[in-house]
Amino acid sequence: MRFLRLISFLAVLLMTGPLLHAQFKQDAFSQNYADSTDKEQADSSKLFSFKEYFGGLAHKRRASLKTMFMGSTVFLGGEQIYNRQYWKLPIAYGGMAAGVGMGIYFNGRYKTTEDSAFKTASTLSFATAGLFYWGTLLDGVVCYDSSDKPHDPAKATLYSLLLPGLGQIYNGEAWKVPIYWSLMAGSIYFLDYNHKNYIRYKNIYNEATSEDTSVEKPPVTAEAAKYYRDASRRLRDYCILFTAGFYLLQVIDANVFAYMLDFEVNDDLSMHIAPTLLPGGYAFAPPAVGIGVGLKF
């Protein structure tokens, strides 16, 4: 019985295929998908729009999360202004200013005293300023109002861009986080390992080829040191590419699967055939009796 239904479906599909294809082409080329008269609606067709960004800051129009994020990377705090969370601005700018100021101060003390403790303090201070910058961008993405979308792909993408794995958690696929983190951590480990080997064999090669007689010659020949130096550098560069590739892969994964969550996937495939009345195709043509085919998938 199911085999006969399948044969009937294929026969009807072969007969109606050309008509459906022609109708699809007509609809595809005649429909205006970007037709909108609402000037307050965010325009997602452009990568970035200054009009949309500054209009969102003035609360005169709705701005997309993509536009607000890109603008806030330069004009930090724009997301907080758009979200009407002005009280966060002194925290963001104050934390960044304090970090940069302390970093400059400790760096000056390090140059004067050559104390490594001041160098460490300077590095930590600049890192703190960067942490405030990163936190401000992430806070703007988290607090962006996406209530009009059940699941916002832009949020998933930016989550993974700012913190690897966070987009997968947002998509409800937390099991992917250990995979991506393991791949990136392994790449970073071997990157560091090969970089240290590169520095080591680079120094050995320099010692082996030095013309200074006071420099003790290493037990490794210059040719061998050069070979291992170049091999370590090549492997280090590969690890950099792998790290960047795995990072980019998890960003793409978060974006793609965020869009796929809106798709309805159902294994129920059925066909319904019933007689129907077809309207006339021309001005004076009478209606005709035909067969209607309904597909459910």
**Residue ranges making up the domain that contains 106:** 40-145
Q: What's the pLDDT at 236? A: 95
Look at 79-88, 97-106, 158-167, 281-290 and tell me which has the smallest mean pLDDT: 281-290
- Range 117-131 average pLDDT: 95
- The DSSP code sequence of 38-60 is -TTS---SSS--HHHHHHHHTTS
On whether residue 116 sits in a domain, the answer given is yes
Does 120 reside within a domain? yes
- The confidence score (pLDDT) of residue 49 equals 84
- SS3 string, the chain, reads CHHHHHHHHHHHHHHHHHHHHHHHHHHHHHCCCCCCCCCCCCCCCCCCCHHHHHHHHCCCCCCCHHHHHHHHCCCCCHHHHHCCCCCHHHHHHHHHHHHHHHHHHHHHHHHHHCCHHHHHHHHHHHHHHHHHHHHHHHHHHHHCCCCCCCCCHHHHHHHHHHCCCHHHHHCCCHHHHHHHHHHHHHHHHHHHHHHHHHHHHHHHHHHHCCCCCCCCCCCCCHHHHHHHHHHHHHHHHHHHHHHHHHHHHHHHHHHHHHHHCCCCCCCCCEEEEEEEEECCCCCCCCCEEEEEEEEEC
Mean of pLDDT over the chain = 81
Residue 106 has pLDDT above 50, yes or no: yes
Beta bridge partners of 278: 288
In this prediction, residues 91-111 reach a mean pLDDT of 95
Identify the residue with better confidence: 49 or 257: 257
In a domain, 282, yes or no: no
Predicted local distance difference test score (pLDDT) of residue 121: 95
Judge whether 130 lies within some domain: yes
- Domain assignment present for residue 111? The answer is yes
Overall average pLDDT of the 107-130 stretch = 94
Average pLDDT over residues 142-151: 86
Q: 167 or 289: whose pLDDT is higher?
A: 167
Band the pLDDT of 38: cuts 50, 70, 90: very low
Q: Which two tokens stand for residue 40?
A: 């307050």
- What is the average pLDDT across 175-179? 95
Any domain includes 243: no
Q: How far apart are CA 286 and CA 274, in angstroms?
A: 20
Which pLDDT value is given to residue 287?
Answer: 65
Q: Say which residue, 210 or 4, is predicted with more confidence.
A: 210
Place of tokens 């129009």: 61
In a domain, 102, yes or no: yes
User: Region 262-285: what's the mean pLDDT?
Assistant: 60
Q: Tell me which of 93-102, 164-173, 174-183, 280-289 is least confident.
A: 280-289
Domain assignment of residue 114, yes or no: yes
Count how many domains the chain has: 1
Strand partners, 290: 276
Structure confidence at residue 149 (pLDDT): 80
- Phi, psi at residue 3, to the nearest 5°? -65, -40
- Take residue 130 and report the two structure tokens written for it: 């960067």
DSSP secondary structure letter of residue 174: G
Average pLDDT for 30-39: 42
What kind and span of H or E run contains 292?
strand 288-296
pTM summary value: 0.72
Distance CA 171, CA 159 (A): 10
Percentage of residues of the chain with pLDDT beyond 70: 71
Mean pLDDT to the nearest integer, 268-296 = 62
Q: Which of helix, strand or coil describes residue 103?
A: helix
